[in-house]
Chain A
């Protein structure tokens, strides 16, 4: 494009042309920094500084009021040596992975079904996706109605079936399964929509060619569709892991980590340490550890994505 401009202005004297080129370059640099400087100042204050500050607070012991004390890696040591924090980390991994795997498989199956030129695609898609758009806080708070002992929905259904009541406060499995079901209900729509987009992106020629070669059903899915959707699968899994690691509202508002920390996760523990126990050091340390784990996941994502494009390219 710039070449055309140069050709048009060719009849002008060469010094004027040089000035024009200089001015055009100058204009671009000037405009760029006029736009970027305020944005970057804001970005440094609200995005970069907090990450640095959080890292700094990880190395101090501070309740927000008294003078902070530099403690080196003591907070990290405490994280590794305290059974509570290890249990919280294990719970977080457990919830993130279970929710992620079930959501990915279920989302894929539904997308596969929706891709079969079904009537009323929009209706099914809406029914599957709308839970994702609801407020996690409001739905989690309302979800208590389902598991409330005595008056809850599950309770009254069990009663009508003549079964013993399920009380999540003493039944760890029930508490965990309910959290998982709730999180899948709220999250599966996303992976369904992503997989559906991926499936619709596969050219019909590829599928027809495979069908001519006799591939169908399971074999078609396993050997043609799944490999083609590999980038999407990587994306669904990695974003699912990142999202699952940050599960917060359902835990805070349904079980609050009970019974006995068996459903407690990193986000709720950070929240408690910071705003209830006034232990800013430990809260920041956990946030730093979460940052490191998720950075690793993001780099894994980039590497796997890179690999896929090399494989196919």
Chain B
């Protein structure tokens, strides 16, 4: 309770007479926060505790698994197995691609829409922005058909018949969704906050546009780029629908969300008592990197969500 009394002077300054109600209020406030936060965290703690329980310990428990001894076999077998690292490599290929290209596109577009004057600028901007209103599923079916009937690849003839085209191959996991209107929007906002003097000074010194973008704007756009990196990392790490629809038939290129989900499902339908601790191990391991990312870069997450809310 020592922590609570420390806050008192701030509150007291405004409300001198109401001394005790505030203290009760503070206690209730902390009770509310701690209890609800624990409820929110309960499933994650459950998964962690479940992952370090033996089968016997797990099935003795009811609402929470308290392992009698820390049992790491599942962790070790999963971390040293091939599945996890295959998913991680596949996911990281997508993550880096889906960070690099949208970053370049949005840096360029932000420049075009704030620093260059040309006819139709606002029209093009609105045209790009309009994709934000379209639910993802609208793209999925036509893109699927386009990939499946792409001529000349994946056993297809020149009319796109006979094979499966790009389906179940890497291009289907790397081609869609590279122009993200949200980041173009954020980047344009960021450019608007940068004075034009730097660019003009550099132009006087004879720098061209590419040099200006790389040497002047790139460092100044750092915080928006960090938001982009974080949000894309989380989005691609968790992306499930795209790999399910476009590459669901090829285990070799399955990213982590799809791979882990299928692994867990496969464990669940085994005969006898399902190996729940093993399922929780997989779930915990694929969630930990995201949690770590949030804890380290919390400031930027908050900034990103704020930018989304206040400007969207």
B-binding residues in A (CB < 8 A): 1, 4-5, 25, 28-29, 31-33, 35-36, 39-40, 42-43, 46-47, 49-51, 53-54, 57, 64, 110, 113-114, 116-120, 122-131, 133-146, 148, 151, 153, 156-157, 159-160, 185, 188-190, 193-194, 196-198, 201, 208, 211, 216, 232, 235-236, 239, 242, 245-246, 248-249, 253, 267, 270-271, 274-275, 280, 283-284, 287-288, 290-291, 294-295, 298
Is the contact region of chain A dominated by helix, strand, or loop, or is it mixed? helix
Q: B12 at interface (Cβ–Cβ under 8 A)?
A: no
By a CB distance below 8 angstroms, the chain A residues around B291 are 130, 133
Contact among A53, A122, A188 with B298 in the assembled complex (CB-CB below 8 Å): A122
Interface residues of B in 72-125 (CB under 8 A from A): 105, 108-109, 111-112, 116-119, 121, 124
Q: Across the interface, do B137 and A139 meet the contact criterion of CB distance under 8 Å?
A: no
Q: Across the interface, do A138 and B62 meet the contact criterion of CB distance under 8 Å?
A: no
CB proximity of B202 to chain A, nearest CB, Å: 13
By a CB distance below 8 angstroms, the chain B residues around A118 are 29-30, 33
Chain B residue at minimal CB-CB distance from A159:
B62
| Bound CA span A269–B144, Å | 17
CB proximity of A16 to chain B, nearest CB, Å: 17
Q: Across the interface, do B238 and A135 meet the contact criterion of CB distance under 8 Å?
A: yes
By a CB distance below 8 angstroms, the chain B residues around A36 are 109, 112, 124
Chain B residue at minimal CB-CB distance from A197:
B306
Q: Across the interface, do A42 and B179 meet the contact criterion of CB distance under 8 Å?
A: yes
CB proximity of B47 to chain A, nearest CB, Å: 7
User: When A35-B109, A46-B178, A294-B133 are in contact, do A133 and B234 touch as well, CB less than 8 Å?
Assistant: yes
Counting chain B CB atoms within 10 Å of each CB, the highest count among A31, A32, A245, A280 belongs to A32
User: When A39-B108, A51-B134, A54-B142 are in contact, do A124 and B33 touch as well, CB less than 8 Å?
Assistant: yes
By a CB distance below 8 angstroms, the chain A residues around B40 are 127-128, 131, 185, 188-189
Chain A residue at minimal CB-CB distance from B287:
A134
CB proximity of B116 to chain A, nearest CB, Å: 4
**Interface segment, one of B151-159, B186-194, B221-229, B255-263:** B255-263
| Bound CA span A190–B305, Å | 8
By a CB distance below 8 angstroms, the chain A residues around B30 are 118
The number of A-B residue pairs with CB atoms under 8 Å apart is 265
Chain A residue at minimal CB-CB distance from B179:
A43
Contact among B135, B145, B264 with A280 in the assembled complex (CB-CB below 8 Å): B145
| Bound CA span A211–B280, Å | 49
By a CB distance below 8 angstroms, the chain B residues around A40 are 124
Q: Across the interface, do B7 and A117 meet the contact criterion of CB distance under 8 Å?
A: yes
Q: Across the interface, do A46 and B179 meet the contact criterion of CB distance under 8 Å?
A: yes
Q: B207 at interface (Cβ–Cβ under 8 A)?
A: no
A-B residue pairs, 9 tightest by C-beta: A53-B142, A50-B142, A137-B240, A127-B37, A197-B306, A135-B238, A29-B118, A137-B261, A28-B116
CB proximity of A118 to chain B, nearest CB, Å: 6
By a CB distance below 8 angstroms, the chain A residues around B274 are 145, 148, 151
Q: Across the interface, do A35 and B111 meet the contact criterion of CB distance under 8 Å?
A: yes
By a CB distance below 8 angstroms, the chain B residues around A201 are 310
Q: Can you identify 19 A-B contacts, CB atoms within 8 angstroms?
A: A5-B200, A29-B116, A124-B37, A125-B302, A131-B40, A133-B293, A135-B260, A135-B290, A138-B257, A141-B264, A141-B265, A143-B43, A151-B276, A159-B62, A190-B305, A197-B310, A246-B135, A253-B261, A287-B135
Q: Across the interface, do A235 and B309 meet the contact criterion of CB distance under 8 Å?
A: yes
By a CB distance below 8 angstroms, the chain A residues around B139 are 46-47, 50-51, 54
Contact among A54, A145, A235 with B276 in the assembled complex (CB-CB below 8 Å): A145
| Bound CA span A290–B283, Å | 32
Q: Across the interface, do A275 and B245 meet the contact criterion of CB distance under 8 Å?
A: yes
Q: Across the interface, do A28 and B117 meet the contact criterion of CB distance under 8 Å?
A: yes
Q: Across the interface, do A135 and B237 meet the contact criterion of CB distance under 8 Å?
A: yes
User: When A54-B138, A110-B36, A245-B135 are in contact, do A136 and B245 touch as well, CB less than 8 Å?
Assistant: no
